Amino acid sequence: MPFYEPTTKDMEFVLHDLLKVSELDIPGFNEMDRDFTGAVLEEAGKIARDVLAPLNPVGDHEGCKLENGSVRVPTGFEDAVNVLRDGGWTGFDCDPEYGGQGMPYTLSVAVGEMHSSANMALMMYPGLTHGAYAAIHAHGSDEQKTKYLPNLVSFKWGGTMNLTEPQCGTDLGLIRTKAEPQDDGTYKISGQKIWISAGEHGMAENIIHLVLAKIPGGPEGVKGISLFIVPKFHVNEDGTLGDRNEVSCGGLESKMGIHGNATCVMNYDGATGYLIGEKHKGLRAMFTMMNEARLGVGMQGLAQASVAYQNALAFAKDRIQGRAVTGVKEPEKAADSIIHFPDVRRMLMDQKSFVEGGRAFMLWAATMIDRSRRNDDADAEGLVSLLIPVVKGFLTDKGLDATISAQQVYGGSGFTTEWGAEQFVRDCRIALIYEGTNGIQALDLVGRKLATDNGKHVMAFFDLVKDFIKENGEDERMAEFITPLKAASKDLQAGGMYFMQNMGNPDDALSGAHDFMHLFGHVCLGLMWARMAKASFEALDAGAADTEFYESKLVTGRYYMTRKLPETAFLLKKVQAGGENVMGLSVANF
Amino acid sequence: MPFYEPTTKDMEFVLHDLLKVSELDIPGFNEMDRDFTGAVLEEAGKIARDVLAPLNPVGDHEGCKLENGSVRVPTGFEDAVNVLRDGGWTGFDCDPEYGGQGMPYTLSVAVGEMHSSANMALMMYPGLTHGAYAAIHAHGSDEQKTKYLPNLVSFKWGGTMNLTEPQCGTDLGLIRTKAEPQDDGTYKISGQKIWISAGEHGMAENIIHLVLAKIPGGPEGVKGISLFIVPKFHVNEDGTLGDRNEVSCGGLESKMGIHGNATCVMNYDGATGYLIGEKHKGLRAMFTMMNEARLGVGMQGLAQASVAYQNALAFAKDRIQGRAVTGVKEPEKAADSIIHFPDVRRMLMDQKSFVEGGRAFMLWAATMIDRSRRNDDADAEGLVSLLIPVVKGFLTDKGLDATISAQQVYGGSGFTTEWGAEQFVRDCRIALIYEGTNGIQALDLVGRKLATDNGKHVMAFFDLVKDFIKENGEDERMAEFITPLKAASKDLQAGGMYFMQNMGNPDDALSGAHDFMHLFGHVCLGLMWARMAKASFEALDAGAADTEFYESKLVTGRYYMTRKLPETAFLLKKVQAGGENVMGLSVANF
């Protein structure tokens, strides 16, 4: 039976030793001292461990059932959602004006990682609701905010995001869902949306669907898309619920993982909708919160890797099989634990060094989102927008690798349902696909973000790395972190340079986009590990009590620097190979 | 709905243009001309496409059910098995003395790839039976052969291999199943075996279980293991069936994939067993056919990659979304097919170059098995024994990567059951685990095979590569294949050298074993691609009609050489990093 053990200690290290959040000049951050974040994470962790994690295999096994138009969620899900709601977790980082707790986004990401590790499918119900909250909060009228936000914050009402249609996912310009203007200022929404996560369920009194649709006569393509609120039940003036709106769940998708979440076909048959923001500016409105949404998916990839690692580690310590090559380690047993075998260690260290490095990267990026939100800091916004495709693409690609590697530690048991390792793989798999496939992330990075503001933000990133190298280049203890970071960063710059010099043939740039995204991800994790090494040395110098924790950080960091980071040279080679061989085969000859 | 299209043309290229099988000096091979192999593969392909493939999602969806001690297999499986039986496919490469067709193993591997692509779970029923056949054929008494082999060859009876127990898989020394000698020369077998593929079903009249067990009082550990025949139904002197033996299926494993195959808990409660071969030499007897068994699993990895690629390609040609960056490609459509996008191409070329290179590698290795069997050639046996862990480990690791990459091509559709891409991933996953995990393959390669016969076989491999490089180094057209092959081969030699110089600390060698296995795999596929390039140039020079086929081979080969093979430098770096960082963390500090 799989378990989840809260990663409070490591998160505290990242928040305080590494990021020093309480010292950051961001409104609200000075309250984030160790005591406070520790107390929050401890509570969040208890829910993850005791409430959410035990339901994870239940949700996978039972799945969701569509019965007479209603979706029955797995046993225990509603009770668990009530625990989240009652504890104020659903509105953790929401606006206090609408009942939220107003906590920093950064802390909400740490909490979110725990909860997502414990039960990814379940957390998508409040997760999508949060997305709807955010869009209305950013673009809704005051009336709309007053009407919808408090109930979304408390999860009295759920929320969904409706983008995809059978003929379009990535290319939303092909949307066919229509919004016919009515005399009373509302719209009649008609069309079919697919893959709508949490699209229908009975855990909330109402569901507020945010729907992309085209008003007839508007501009062609993506420039003619508007965003609408379509409530499942009409909401009366006094806030009470009226009749059902003409929206219904037409079916549930059978899928590889996240079985506990209802992936719905949603049919809009002249449903009443309310425009959010301006006409034809729907895509912009939907994507305002894109950085948070994509960071959230990167977080899911990392979260599955984290829980998969924990369980694989426990298995490796417990399972005895054969004897260590360097001599018997556990003579009192019939065989040694498999954790003594180098290849098992390799797999565990791969996972551990990724999870800890990725967590630091994710939380660092989250602080930039807080800075851009709370300080209105355009540079932070620019830098984090550059990094977001890397957070999403790299953390989910490598997160999936980590879950597969964790599964491998179990041998045959990893393939059985009983041990749970295979569920982490299946659940994680979707994170590489939704919220923009990882190929789309790479395209966003190379085709758009690199050149934003004339390359200002990528230069800022390089400066960050350079400055860190410069500041610590004299420190001998840091050499084994600085030297590989320097080499990797040089590879990244060379990759960027290649694109600059080959703008003329976009196929050349885009053929290497995915590799470049990975190159970038490695440099980010390399930077994080170098910084964590520095923080660990400082803590040890300052006489920190838990010397083993900091020394373990250094060992894990060295592993990343010697065995993961050097992949950058190979990735650069692929970037520089251009598009010739990628595009060389004619379609007919495939 | 997924499909399977036979890969006859590519297999014919490998068998004839590349391996020139009909010219090889191996008994039986001179009959393998293009007409003959073409006819065989066409027939095999029809069964794969029309009979087996349509049942693949059925098997996944229905799974197997244990009802009153019997296993009900998915709808249609029995009819399909009858088609294989009636066509003589179950005894394709079996001894004609016992009713087999006596075909070369090499050709059986090509047929096996097709059938396994079409329906991996189904093919495991005759697959395991073939394993039981092979062990009895190699080690059984004449009486046992006469009694069991003809019915195994015809699949009138099924067969299984019983190794794993709850407390041991890799370390068979821990086996607890007991075999108590009886006065009549038989044994009473008692114990529990788990993960027994095809352990129980009603598609055959009888099932012949091959069971590893310990005779009390024998040597400790693996030296005290014997191998027994335990029939489900007793077999009378006249060949008719008697009563049930005391063996029963105690449960079915719920698992990630291959749902159509019954993975059984088998309980032996004083079942009558018959010793095969000598007492206490059971492990040797079970593992005699290890090369074939492991090649067969590598084949499964490749086969899933092949079918996953085919389906992803069809999707990429059909799905329209957005416009190509270099300008509109299909103006008559609302958008261009996604195959025009570089990142989709990258994924398809990754898959294609792996599948075609891997297929050549696998069939080349198969010819060596034929050579060792039919010519009693110890050098061929030595070389293929060296390569087998690479065939198994590399083809399944990269095969899984390819299925995941194929799934990614679909975007959201890839996550749904409907399109079938996710089944290929789940089915393929087991191939990295069973028949010795890939970590065990790496250990076998580095810890045993490299040093076999004082390194004679690895030197023979290096000579093969060197000779090819030498012979073709002057050919300018070949430079883009020879140069990267040379570099990769140098990396491989450096990796081998590292192990030789660091024998003193086995942790150093074994920490890099998995990376070395991949390094070796890349060099093998690099060699295959270089040879296939040469064969393609030769065919073009000779005025071959299908110029596009051969030119496509060259494009695909160049892709592998520029974008896959250079990973060897990174892998070497990891090998040379040794064990310090892998083993540096104490168990307590994980």
Question: Is residue A120 pLDDT above 90, yes or no?
Answer: yes
Question: Is residue A514 pLDDT above 90, yes or no?
Answer: yes
Nearest to B513 among A343, A505, A584 (CB): A343
Q: Within chain A, what is the greatest distance between any pair of CA atoms?
A: 83
Q: So what's the pLDDT on residue A410?
A: 98
A69 pLDDT band (50/70/90 cuts)?
Answer: very high
Whether A128 and A197 have beta carbons less than 8 Å apart is answered as yes
Cβ separation of B429 and A412 shorter than 8 Å?
no
Instruction: Sort out which chain A residues have CB atoms less than 8 A from B583's CB and list them.
Output: 342, 345
User: Average pLDDT for residues A330-353, to the nearest whole number?
Assistant: 97
Neighbours of B10 (CB within 10 A): 17
User: Average pLDDT for residues A222-240, to the nearest whole number?
Assistant: 96
Cβ neighbors of A225 (< 8 A, separation 6 or more) are A172, A173, A175, A212, A213, A214, A280, A282, A283
B289 pLDDT band (50/70/90 cuts)?
Answer: confident
Question: Is residue B288 pLDDT above 90, yes or no?
Answer: no
CA distance A414 to A445: 35
User: Average pLDDT for residues A219-233, to the nearest whole number?
Assistant: 96
User: Average pLDDT for residues B142-150, to the nearest whole number?
Assistant: 98
Disruptive mutation site among A164, A522, A581, A586 for chain B (greatest number of B CBs within 10 Å): A581
Nearest to B169 among A173, A412, A577 (CB): A412
Distance from CA of B463 to the nearest CA of A (A): 27
Q: What is the pLDDT of residues A150-167, one digit of tens each?
A: 999 999 999 999 999 999
Q: What is the pLDDT of residues A73-118, one digit of tens each?
A: 999 999 999 999 999 999 999 999 999 999 999 999 999 999 999 9
Q: What is the pLDDT of residues B328-373, one digit of tens each?
A: 999 999 999 999 999 999 999 999 999 999 999 999 999 999 999 9
Q: Residue type for A466, please?
A: K
Fold designation for B159-281: Butyryl-CoA Dehydrogenase, subunit A; domain 2 (2.40.110)
Cβ separation of B169 and A321 shorter than 8 Å?
yes
What are the structure tokens assigned to A455, written together? 């390359």
Neighbours of B59 (CB within 10 A): 26
B176 pLDDT band (50/70/90 cuts)?
Answer: very high
Write down the catalytic residue from A165, A200, A381, A435: A435
Are B159-281 and B289-436 in the same CATH fold? no
Average pLDDT, chain B: 97
Q: What is the pLDDT of residues A292-322, one digit of tens each?
A: 999 999 999 999 999 999 999 999 999 999 9
CA distance A204 to B146: 69
B427 pLDDT band (50/70/90 cuts)?
Answer: very high
Cβ separation of A438 and B412 shorter than 8 Å?
no
- Class assignment of domain A289-432? mainly alpha
Give the 3-state secondary structure percentages of chain A, helix then strand then coil, rounded to 5: 60, 15, 25
Domain boundaries, chain A: 8-136, 157-280, 289-432, 437-585
Cα angle value A120/A49/A206 (rounded, 5°):
50
A263 pLDDT band (50/70/90 cuts)?
Answer: very high
Cβ separation of B255 and A416 shorter than 8 Å?
yes
H or E segment and range at residue B157: strand B157-162
**Is A390 buried (19+), middle (13-18) or exposed (0-12) by CB count in 10 A?**
buried
Nearest to B511 among A173, A346, A352 (CB): A346
DSSP A207: E
Least confident of A103-107, A287-291, B508-512, B554-558: A287-291
User: Average pLDDT for residues B162-169, to the nearest whole number?
Assistant: 94
Distance from CA of A453 to the nearest CA of B (A): 21
Nearest to A325 among B506, B563, B577 (CB): B506
Whether B44 and B89 have beta carbons less than 8 Å apart is answered as yes
B287 pLDDT band (50/70/90 cuts)?
Answer: confident
Distance from CA of B99 to the nearest CA of A (A): 35
CA distance A179 to A185: 11
E strands, A359-464, in order? none
Of residues A308, A412, A340, the one with CA closest to residue B167: A412
Residue with tokens 């999936």: A400
- Distance from first CA to last CA of chain A, Å, rounded? 45
CATH ID of B289-436, from 3.30.360.10, 1.20.140.10, 1.10.600.10, 3.40.50.300: 1.20.140.10
Distance from CA of A325 to the nearest CA of B (A): 7
Question: Is residue A56 pLDDT above 90, yes or no?
Answer: yes
Instruction: Sort out which chain A residues have CB atoms less than 8 A from B256's CB and list them.
Output: 415-417, 422, 425-426
CATH of segment(s) A157-280: 2.40.110.20
Cα angle value B499/B500/B502 (rounded, 5°):
60
Q: What is the pLDDT of residues B451-493, one digit of tens each?
A: 999 999 999 999 999 999 999 999 999 999 999 999 999 999 9
Disruptive mutation site among A170, A548, A585, A586 for chain B (greatest number of B CBs within 10 Å): A585
Cβ separation of B425 and A422 shorter than 8 Å?
no
Phi, psi for A238 (deg, rounded to 5): -85, 5
Kindly give the pairing relationship between strand A65-67 and strand A70-72.
Answer: antiparallel
Neighbours of B569 (CB within 10 A): 18
CA distance B518 to B439: 11
Active site residues of B: 435
Q: Which CATH superfamily is domain B8-136 in?
A: Acyl-CoA dehydrogenase/oxidase, N-terminal domain (1.10.540.10)
User: Average pLDDT for residues B83-91, to the nearest whole number?
Assistant: 97
Kindly give the pairing relationship between strand B263-276 and strand B247-252.
Answer: antiparallel
What's the distance, CA A353 to chain centroid? 18
DSSP B23: G
Cβ separation of B169 and A411 shorter than 8 Å?
yes
Nearest to B342 among A346, A511, A562 (CB): A511
A442 pLDDT band (50/70/90 cuts)?
Answer: very high
Cβ neighbors of A555 (< 8 A, separation 6 or more) are B581, B584, B585, B589
Instruction: Sort out which chain A residues have CB atoms less than 8 A from B447's CB and list them.
Output: 325
Cβ separation of B433 and A339 shorter than 8 Å?
no
Distance from CA of A146 to the nearest CA of B (A): 35
Instruction: Sort out which chain B residues have CB atoms less than 8 A from A317's CB and list them.
Output: 587, 590
Cβ separation of A569 and B569 shorter than 8 Å?
yes
Q: So what's the pLDDT on residue A139?
A: 97
CA distance B412 to B404: 13
